Each structure stands twice: as C-alpha cells, then as structure tokens.
Structure 1
C-alpha cells in the first residue's frame, strides 16, 4: 500500500510539473484580430470635419492605403484597413470600397474569407448593404461573440464618426474573417 502511495505521489508531481498544453493556434491571427479591435475601440468618438469625410487622421489612414487624399472618400474601409495595419496585417486598399471587398471575401481573396454570420468572433468583419444597387456599402469590425442574435461592433464613418453599435445578425449581407 505504501508503494502505491509513493507511486501516486511521483505521478502527481510529474503531472503538476508538466506545462499545460496550449490551445490550438487556429489560423495564427487571433492576436492580430484582438489588436485590431483594441486599436479600433481606442478611436471611438473620432469625427470627420463636418460632413467632408476628412480629418487629418482619416487622411493619414487613406494615404496609408496608398490612396490620394484629399479628396477624402467614405472611410469605413479605411478605418478597418488601419485597424489591421496597426495589428501588423496588410490588407488590400480595395477595402475603401465595401462592394469590391464583399466580392473579395466571397472569393476568399485579398486576405478576406466569407464565414457564416453566426460564427463571427472579435476581429471579424460584417458587411452591410445600406445603399441600393450595391452588394455592400459599409464594413464594421465585430467586438463580441454573438449573443441573442446580435453582436457589438466598432465602425468608422457612422454619422460622421467612429462609433460603437449593436447589430442584429439578420442585417449584415456577409460576414468575413481576415486571413492575412
């Protein structure tokens, strides 16, 4: 009986000294997505000048995409691009146009991949079609996992500012994951 107790003590000590297994790494971009969300959240409240689509910060974001600014453009995509650039992920300048980026996500191109809306997690993107005739006209960054059929987002160019929103998952036309 004493030998069994000693053996169990030795086994328990070995197990305790063994480092825990790390969770599966997934696609390796979880940290970048978290950084993108963190940076995006830190921008909440930033406003364009009037209704110009311009500010010194927005102009820098658009120039970082390789775009000429001014003139400034609708900037929800520049906001998303900058969030991921700050997180070390280089995405296509096509993000300035949500309609074209929608197509990229559907095709799994330019660092985007369409995913089921119910599977979004922080750092994923939601595409909305607020303007008729376009597949998508706005992009948001997801801040939370779905709960009650909705997620919390951070979005650029909503009422001329960076804002937080609660979006029902029945409203986006597409969800996408940044793949690098």
Structure 2
C-alpha cells in the first residue's frame, strides 16, 4: 500500500512538473517581440513627476534629456523613435506609445516603428488596434517577419490558433534564417 502511495505522489509530482514546463514554454513562445532587438534585456521602471521612467539612472537622464530636447525640436523624428525605443526597452509600453505615434505622424512609412508601436498597443490591452497597425505593415511589406510573428502572437493570445499558425508559418517562410524563425517554430510546436 505504501508503494502505491509513493508511486501516486511521484506521478502527481511529475505531472505538475510537466504542466509547469509546458506553461513556461507557452509564455515564452507567445510574447511579442520588438522589431530590431528581439533579445534586448528589460530594465526596471520607476515613477518620476507622475510619469513612469526607466529605473537605470543613466537611462532616466537620457529619457529626460530627450524629452527636453523634443520640446524645442518636435519634428525630429529620429529622436522620437529613440525615446520610444528607450521606453519600450524599459518595459514601459504605455509611455512608449506617444513617441512612436508622433514618429509615425512624421514618417508613416516606417514599418519597424509601426511594428514596435503595435507591440506597445498589445501590451496595453489594445489588441484590435495592434492588429490594425500590423496589418498596415504587412500591406506595405508582406514579408515583414517580425510583424507576421507578432500577428501570430496576438491571434494566439485571443484564442484564434488557426490564424496564429498562418502568421507564424508566413514569418518562417519570410525569414527562415532570422531570429524570428526559431521563435515562430517554437510557438507552432506549443500549439500542437
């Protein structure tokens, strides 16, 4: 009898471990990525003057300097993009939306910025808007692997796994040797 209980606990433990591993891979495979730096490290964030800013002191100073600079140079698209990227990399998606939106108003054809903007929208629970923005990217560049991958992530997140498969397969076809392809393959594996 004791051996059956031990075996039962062992099996239950193994099942819990398998569930935990499965959930880990589900989470890591279905996170949208930033266009140019899919492997960038995330830093912490802290609040200053009612705004959420990067936690790293040097980054905070850079963000403040950029914001000050942009007050007197509001048409400097490259610096709006830089500000959006810094906030994005800090994991501050809500604050990155406005710099990206401003950059897109000045340079609407920038598919990479539009892709990052869409990820920010998704991460602030605005999936429909994110899909709209990514569809603009795909219309402009049908082989934009990061946009295709992120469309797959959003569709998967919203329970539309058939759509997710289509976009992840397209991402792999568009850029089979890119950093996106292994992520898309893993995401497809996790759906099966």
TM class, shorter-chain normalised? 0.3 to 0.5
Greater helix content: 2
Q: TM-score, normalised by structure 1?
A: 0.33
User: Based on CA coordinates, which of the two structures has the bigger radius of gyration?
Assistant: 1
Q: TM-score, normalised by structure 2?
A: 0.32
